[in-house]
Amino acid sequence: MASIKMRNFSDEFQFKTSAQAVVPATITIEQRSGLKGASVHFYSLFLAGLFLILLGSSFSARADAYDDFVLAVKFNDASTVHDLLRQGMDVNSINGTRGETVLMIALREKSLKVFELLLKHPDIKLETHAINGDTALMIASFLGDLSAVNQLISAGARLNQPGWTALHYASAAGHVELMNLLLKKGGFINAQSPNKTTPLMMAVSSGKKKAVQVLLDSGADTSLINEMGLSVLDFSIQLEQKEIESLLRQR
């Protein structure tokens, strides 16, 4: 390995190899750089500026590609989404505003072709949570998208988890057919949210009589109370849901 030794503190250098071959060098500092005085400083600034320009261009290109990707998802442009995925776009890209994945965005925008394309991707993550805690299955359940819910469950999406669940959302929206599917697939009927709200409480609070009937017929527990100490009967009374109150009193 070559070593460098300064001689007599001058601007001349002597290079010595591991083979002990001595090669005299009379290269001055200015000659070594190939530039003189202020030129060295200017060249350094030029390189730094060029690096920042290239770096900024790279970030800008990535941002543009991401914007194109999200736009294609929203407009159900499966062809463009497919091409961008092949170019390396992340199938689990997250929108900064709501923290939703593009799979969730596809569901909200009813971009069914894109949804199916994303769902089939080998790297898709189904249990990612948005900022508010939503998962793709929860969103599909609230929207009443029976086909999407079926596909998500078949792909391995979890029905039950700590806190809010897909059954809470389906019950709140009163999607009876979807509720029956979730219950049939093993959705926990008395699941409790962080504040101990149950799917039955959600159905009662929303005034969804048919949803209440489905949950009661499926064995929902009417004695449970939330963190405020309220039962489903209390909800029905406070909200003046007379028909639902009557159903509950029959249990």
Q: Check which CATH number belongs to the domain holding 223 and give it.
A: 1.25.40.20
Domain region containing 5: 1-34
Which is more confidently placed, 64 or 46?
A: 64
State residue 56 phi and psi, 5-degree precision.
-65, -40
> Rounded to a whole number, what is the largest CA-CA distance in the chain?
105
The amino acid present at 202, given as its one-letter code, is M
- Give the least confident one: 56-70, 179-193, 204-218: 56-70
Q: Is 50 exceeded by the pLDDT of residue 51?
A: no
Task: Report the distance separating Cα 176 and Cα 140, nearest Å.
Answer: 14
Q: Do 105 and 53 share a structural domain?
A: yes
Q: Are residues 118 and 53 in the same domain?
A: yes
Residues 75 and 49 in one domain: yes
Whole-number Å distance between alpha carbons of 208 and 176: 9
Dihedral angle over CA of 188, 101, 178, 111, nearest 10: -170
- Residues 6 and 52 occupy one common structural domain: no
Same domain for 17 and 46, yes or no, is: no
* 26 and 60, same domain (yes or no): no
In a domain, 60, yes or no: yes
Q: Are residues 163 and 94 in the same domain?
A: no
Q: Among residues of the chain, what percentage have pLDDT more than 90?
A: 73
Element (H, E) at 25: strand 22-25
Of 132, 150, 185, which residue is a domain's last? 132
Q: What is the C-alpha separation between 213 and 95, in angstroms, rounded?
A: 38
Predicted local distance difference test score (pLDDT) of residue 63: 65
Average pLDDT over residues 185-193: 98
Place of tokens 């202020």: 38
What number is the average pLDDT over the span 57-81? Answer: 82
CA distance 243 to 250: 11
**pLDDT over 80 at 15, yes or no:** no
In a domain, 141, yes or no: no
State which amino acid sits at residue 76. Answer: N
Number of structural domains in the chain: 3
**Main-chain phi, psi angles of 163, to 5 degrees:** 90, -150
173 and 232 fall within a common domain: yes
Residue 190 sits in the same domain as residue 239: yes
Task: For residue 130, give Cα distances in angstroms to 37, 109, 137.
Answer: 56, 16, 12
pLDDT(191) > 90: yes
The average pLDDT across 161-169 equals 97
Residue 42 confidence (pLDDT) above 90? no
205-243 pLDDT, tens digit each = 999 999 999 999 999 999 999 999 999 999 999 999 999
Q: Euclidean distance between the first and final Cα of the chain, in Å?
A: 89
Q: Note whether 27 and 60 are same-domain residues.
A: no
CA 49 → CA 35, 36, 59, 60, 65, distances in Å?
18, 20, 15, 16, 24
What is the length of the chain? 251
Q: DSSP H helical segments within the chain, as ranges?
A: 29-33, 38-74, 78-86, 102-108, 112-119, 136-143, 146-154, 166-173, 176-184, 199-205, 209-217, 232-238, 242-249
